Structure formats: structure tokens, C-alpha cells
Amino acid sequence: MTTDWLAEAKKYKEALLDDLTTLLKIDSERDVEHKTADAPLGPGPAAALKQMLALADRDGFKTLNVENVAGRIEYGDGDEIFGLFGHMDVVPAGPGWDTDPFNPVIKDGRIYARGSSDDKGPSIAAYYALKMIKDLGLPINKKIHFIIGTDEESEWVGINRYLEVQPAPDFGFSPDAEFPIINGEKGIATFAVKLLPIAAKSAALTLTGFTSGIRVNMVPQNAEATIAGTLPNDFEDQLQAFAAANHVKAQVATDGQTATVSLEGKGAHAQEPKVGVNAATYLATFLNGFDFDPAGKTYLRLIADFMHDDSRGHKLGINYTDKLMGDLTASPDMFSFSQDGPQTIMINVRYPQGTDDSKIRDQIETTLGADVVSVAVNGHAQGPHYVSGDDPLVKTLLDVFERQTGLPGHEQVIGGGTYGRIIDRGVAFGALMPDRENVMHQANEYMAIDDIIQAVAIYAEAISLLAK
């Protein structure tokens, strides 16, 4: 008997949306400042993980909670483990929302909330696919482990802890990217650029502060600079002319001899910086035309001359293109400057095979000047990952996608990093449909409800075939 996967998926629509709404109401941003013994990554991630596992307990699955940083939903039995990899954490909501990011709103066939497309919506689609297989009693001859992390958007503490104490799947996919498939992921590293001390010297203006960015994997939407001194009489006119010419919003507020200049661009996922409008580099480029103190001038000059409007790293000398994996991308995402404190820039780089984090670090420092800055890898770098298009895993997933959508399947490499890369035979598979707007990490994030239901159908057939 042939299963009508989409017809079966549609039967779960109301229940799925109820469960998804419950998950989306939880602000599950990683929050170690408020960690506890029971919530090592913060209360939100732990709460979202518990809620996801509670859904599975309700539906009769076997579950496991690993120290409130990761979890597992288990079904089936066999010698091999087929893995699904999702995550319950979200990036910060950030500014610019038309609605409350943690009060889901359904409008025009879409569900709006932080995490709707990354990754609670796709994860709940994969969960309901597994539930469908269980409810239909379809034959399964492998163990299925749906592994859930709680800090995929940052340091991967949860998934790494899981793999320290639990067996890794033999193969599998992460519902945390786009269709038709992601079987290649670029390497990811963040480089901390720190300005070396510069002797003070009097100037017309002193940059007393410059801040921008909320995460190293998000193009900053807002930036702010504080300035001491007397601004030129036409400063605000110049600012508004610059803003109009570059399609950004800017304003200046003065209080005696202190001015605060703010600029608003457009946030985006750092995997493709040119989708966003980097508020920090635009603000620095505007301010670079004025007479600032030596430290302030150097900070602004480095941003304006080497980082502005250059998503491929040409100005830094790190540009690189691989025939299979495509271009390196560079996104300066966090900025901190004060006269007596940190003067840093965090640059998030997604790099293809053929180069590595050490070469990139050396070149950034050489370009900016070893006598001006020091550069270090912030945290750990993740090398490029690729699963051959000839692998049966890739072939099966593409076949399912083509059969259910009528669209052509093809290999794809992205700059984003997913849990698919934690095992050798791991890929990312959906749930963003081709030609859909990618609003991950942006204000007013949403996912089309019909796409979620279609993903349930695609995932169910794929899991059924791969775990048979």
C-alpha cells in the first residue's frame, strides 16, 4: 500500500501548530549569565528542551535528558543508529520586530516568532514525521535517535556533551537549513581583532564609545557611537545625506559637548553578509571622514577601509574561492570601543576547503598591521564538511525531495553551520523551501505553515526509507 505522505501530514496540522506555538513562546536564547546547576546554559534553553521532551513523553516515545543541555527522542531498534539533529535555542530577538517575537502570530499563512524557521519550526516538523511513522506502524529496522541541542547558535556545548556520554549516530540529517539538501558546509571561525595601545593626541573630536552587534553570527542591525567635542555645524546635514544615499536610518542627539550618533541597517545571518546592511561599517565609514583622536581614528579607519561593503574579504586579503564550496565570506559582527577599555572587532568568516583558520588569521593581521592590531581565533574553528553526492544518504534524500515536490534536486554547499556536520555521514535537509525568503536571524522571522506541513511529509518518507 502506498502512503500519501502529504495527506497524512495534513491530519496533524492543528496539533502541530499547538505544540509549535508552545515552544515558540519560550525565549530560549543561550543565557549563561543566569545559569544554574540545573540549567547550565540558562533557563530558557533548559525549559525549551524539557518542553520538547515532554511532547515526546506524551506521545509514547522513549526520551533522555542529558544534564538539561541536550536530549534524545528514541524510536525503533536495530544495529545501526539513524540520527536527526535539531536545536531548541534561538538567537537574540534583536530590534525591528512588528510583533512580540515570543508571542507567535499567524498571519497570511505564516507563523511569526523567533525560532519559527530556525529551528523550532523545522524540528517540530521532523518530530511529527517521526510521530506519523510511529502512528502508522511503519516498519523500522534501525534505532532512530532524534538528538536535540540547546546552544547550536553559539558554542555547541550541549551537542558536544551529548556525544561525550551517548553513542553518535551512524548517519543522519539535521532539519536546520534548506531544501533540496545541504551536503557541504564551509568552515567557520570568528577572529578577534584587538587594537594595540595608541598614544593620545588632541583632536577636534574624541571617539569615546562605539558599540554594535549582539552575536558573532548575526550581521548587526544597529550601531551607536559617542563623541566628545564640538561637531561641525553641518554634521547632522551630512549624516542625513549619507543615510539617504545609502538607504539607512541615522540620527544624532547632543548633550553639551557629548553627541550620540546611531545608525540602523538590516540584520541578517552571517553566512551571507550581503543580505544584510551592516550598521557598524556604515556608521564607521561616515565618521571616518572627520578629525578624531588617534585611537578613534584608527578604529574607524580599519572598519571603513578594510571591512565595509566587502562580504568576500577582498580588502582583508582573505578572499578565496573553491570550485565545489564557493566563496569565503567575511562578516564583522561585533564591535566594542572605549578610550580606556576594549577596542575590538569580531569578524565571522565562513571558509571553503583549500584554506584554514590559521592562514586567515595570519593574513588579517598582516593586512591590518601587526604593529596596529593583534588577531586571534575566538573560541574554536570548525573545518569544512562534505558528504559526497554519491552517498546513498544524499541520493535517497534528493529522490524523496524530487518525488514530493516535483522540483529538481541538487547538491548544495552553504556558509551556515548545522549539526549535520557532527558526524561524517551527516547532512542538512530542509526545511526552507527553494526560492523562499530566508529570514533566519532577522527581525520578523517566520515560516509558511504549508511549508512546515510539507516538510513533515518529506521527512516522514525520508526517515521511513533510511531507517527501513
**pLDDT per position as a tens digit, 210-268:** 999 999 999 999 999 999 999 999 999 999 999 999 999 999 999 988 999 999 999 99
Q: Provide mean pLDDT across the span 267-282.
A: 95
The full length of the chain comes to 468
How would DSSP label each residue in 323-367? TTTEE-EEEEEEEEEESSS-EEEEEEEEE-TT--HHHHHHHHHHH
Question: Mean pLDDT across the chain, nearest whole number?
Answer: 96
Smallest CA-to-CA distance from 183 within 192, 194, 172 is with 172
Q: Which H helix or E strand runs over 451? A: helix 449-466
Share of the chain above pLDDT 70, in %: 100
87-142 residue pLDDT tens: 999 999 988 999 999 999 999 999 999 999 999 999 999 999 999 999 999 999 99
CATH superfamily ID and name for 5-186+385-466: Zn peptidases (3.40.630.10)
Query: Residue ranges of the domains in the chain?
Result: 5-186+385-466, 188-382
Q: Is 309 a catalytic residue?
A: no
> Is the pLDDT score of 1 beyond 80?
no
Among residues 19, 89, 333, 461, the one annotated as catalytic is 89
Q: Provide mean pLDDT across the span 263-288.
A: 96
Residue 462 pLDDT class (50, 70, 90 cuts):
very high
Do residues 291 and 205 lie in contact, with contact meaning Cβ atoms separated by under 8 Å? yes
- Give the per-residue pLDDT at 380: 84
Locate 459 and state its grid cell. 521527512
Place of cell 550581521: 219
Q: What is the pTM of this model?
A: 0.88
Among residues 152, 327, 333, 461, the one annotated as catalytic is 152
> Is the pLDDT score of 189 beyond 90?
yes
Smallest CA-to-CA distance from 384 within 431, 436, 324 is with 324
6-57 residue pLDDT tens: 999 999 999 999 999 999 999 999 999 999 999 999 999 999 999 999 999 9
Q: Is 89 a catalytic residue?
A: yes
For 188-382, CATH gives 3.30.70.360
| Cβ-based neighbour number of residue 243 at 10 Å | 18
Preceding peptide of 119 cis, ω within 30°: yes
406-438 residue pLDDT tens: 999 999 999 888 999 999 999 999 999 999 999
Q: Provide mean pLDDT across the span 292-320.
A: 98
